[in-house]
Structure 1
Amino acid sequence: MIELGGAQESANTGDLIKDVTEENFMADVVEASMEVPVIVDFWATWCGPCKTLGPMLETAVTKAKGAVKMAKIDVDQNQRLAQALAQQGLPLQSIPTVVAFVQGRPVDMFQGAVPASEIDAFIAKAIEAGGGDSSGGLDDAVAAAEEMLAEGAAEDAQQTFAAILQEEPHHAAAYAGLVRTYLAMDQLDQAEAALNGAPVEISKAPELEAVHAQIELAKQAAGVGPVAELTATVEAEPDNHQARLDLAKALHASGDVAGAVDQLLELFRRDREWNDGAAKAQLLTIFEALDAKDPVALSGRRKLSSMIFA
């Protein structure tokens, strides 16, 4: 288990998941939900989907490490309780029905068997509704790994990102961080393979879209020419669009992202349609690879927009 500041201690499973009856419903659901959200699984022994959903719920609740609890209610054994709750507005005619209780009242629900990703999202929403941290402290571990990567300790960062993903395979920020450790170690093929292996549930997450753009830019860097020679060519031939595009790629590869953006904006100004809009496409790739709040991205997007709508 990742043990960095803010991570919760693993709770005893017996305290997290309980069989609840009419006698202890008030204590183990209503009163307990005043402290942490309680996910109530209404099920029956004859219900096929219940047999699939129940273990998935238990796994997700256990993974939350005490940020949420679970109550299991057999509707056949607790018919009077089920009827009373139905009279109060809970639609329990169909099972399985799963209800999230926060601060003593139901705040969300779903019916039927659903994928694990939807269960995780449901529980995260319940935890947030209760004022908790649905990340289970893993965001602190991601921040620590990012700091390692920024300081040049790519291997240490890689180990930390991998450990986070063992606990939460769908943590998009950790997965993107893992891919970037390969880029930091100039292991482009491994970075691309890792990205291609991302779970489908997070494959379109902004963090992975950004690292995809970073990989594309890294591929381009392998074939660019010397900055000095390309600069001289562009100065001598201002309308040599290919040379200007190559210069922008070379500048980006050398770490001069702002310079690359300036050259691409100039290329767009001179001929926005050249090479099927290559200048705009390259700009968007660079912006995608940067943090949304990066000053270069903010300024570049603003300048590009003003040119488009001028």
Structure 2
Amino acid sequence: MVIDLMGGAQPSQGGDDLIKETTEATFMADVVEASQQVPVIVDFWAPWCGPCKTLGPMLEDAVRAAGGKVKMVKVDVDQNQQIAAQLRIQSIPTVYAFYQGQPIDGFQGAVQGSEIKAFVDRLIEQAGGEAEGGGLDEAVAAADEMLEQGAASDAAQTYAAILGEQPNHPAAYAGMVRAHIAMGDLDQAEAILNGADASISHAPELEAAHAQLQLAKQGADAGPVDELRAKVDADPDDHQSRFDLAQALHAKGMTEEAVDELLELFRRDRTWNDEAARAQLFTIFDALPAKDPVALKGRRRLSSMIFA
């Protein structure tokens, strides 16, 4: 992505500040160049925007809490219309995150504080850091490995032992949910998820487990891949069949192929069914580890379509 803004890039004031205002003249330095070091969150707002007045301070608090692992730049769209036009900002508040000069994530509208923290944590992890409160002890790592190797029952017992010591350990709690999903006991997985204490119910680990549960439920009703593929081949503009094909592919463990189909659907008609393709992509991305290559590649491709 190339940004050629009027006035060129000039050094911004207070280069070490975590949060700053930018202009068309300093956007390159404040965002694109600064994002070579750490992720930069860009908050597009305006003085007349009510939700912006709520979201902005929450973002600032989350950025400060991250202790320098991310930065934040605020763009007043009324004063910087060229930036807003080039990035196709159609409504506010809109938030984008840049890393190494490229947009890697974002959202629109006001969201809850837990979602903001998860967003910031995800950015830190994508940049190779460790989120605040992150890190898993050896027992959780061992249980995760058991689960990856297919020993879901053994993993569940290990997670249960960890929770016996720390009942609100978010990673172990989410692991219990994932273990029951792996065992095909979706009702129990949902019951465990619904029983999470309020203090961890919106932790990133549980949000990921929730996304995995959503996908597992969809997979239970997924149609035959070959039949759906034939429908899409016969009519590439059959958006429902393509969406159903993506669900069926994911249910078969073909995650990258599912992402490809959803990206193609988004490319053909991003507004179809209330942007269902985009929502499904984010569900898949949320269900994957932050550094998973399928998630990273998929997010980049989706961002390139959004910004194209």
Structure 1 residue 200 and structure 2 residue 198: aligned?
yes
Change (3 A) 1:138 1:241: closer
The 5 Å alignment of 1:271-282 reads: 271-282=269-280
Question: Does the CA-based 8 Å contact 2:288-2:295 persist in structure 1?
Answer: yes
CA RMSD in angstroms comes to: 1.4
Find the counterpart in structure 2 of residue 247 from structure 1.
245
- Poorly superposed stretches of 4+, deviation over 4 Å: none
Structure number with larger C-alpha Rg: 1
Structure 2 match to 1:28 = none
1:96 alignment counterpart:
none
Check the 8 A contact 2:159/2:172 in 1, yes or no: yes
Return the match for 2:261 from 260, 263, 267: 263
Q: Is the 8 A contact 2:136 2:171 kept in 1?
A: no
CA drift at 1:222: 1.3
- The correspondence for 1:174, drawn from 169, 172, 175, is 172
> Could you list the per-position Cα deviations for residues 56-101 of structure 1 after superposition, in whole angstroms to 9, with x for gaps in the alignment?
xxxxxxxxxxxxxxxxxxxxxxxxxxxxxxxxxxxxxxxxxxxxxx
- Once the two structures are TM-superposed, the CA of residue 224 in structure 1 deviates from its matched residue by 1.3
Task: Report Cα offsets for 1:121-161 as digits up to 9, x if no partner.
Answer: xxxxxxxxxxxxxx9x9711111111111222211111110
Which residue, out of 196, 211, 214, partners 1:213? 211
Flag structure 2 segments of 5+ consecutive residues without an equivalent: 1-132
State the one-letter code of the partner of 1:169.
Answer: P
Counterpart residue identity of residue 220, structure 2: A
The one-letter code matched in structure 1 to 2:269 is D
Q: What amino acid does structure 2 have at the position aligned with 1:165?
A: L
Equivalences, count? 175
Name the CA distance, whole Å, in 2 between partners of 1:300 and 1:152.
Answer: 26
Quote the Cα distance in structure 1 between the aligned partners of 2:151 and 2:293: 25
Where structure 1 has 5 or more consecutive residues not aligned to the other structure, the ranges are 1-134
Counterparts of 1:155 and 1:283, CA distance in 2: 29
Q: What's the % identity of the aligned pairs?
A: 70
Distance in 1 of aligned mates of 2:269 and 2:141: 42
Aligned to 2:293: 295
Q: Aligned partners of 1:265 and 1:154: how far apart in 2?
A: 31
Q: What residue identity is the alignment partner of 1:160? A: T
Pairing 1:142-157 to 2, within 5 Å after superposition? 142-157=140-155
- The one-character-per-residue Cα deviations of 1:29-58 (angstroms, maximum 9, x if unpaired) are xxxxxxxxxxxxxxxxxxxxxxxxxxxxxx
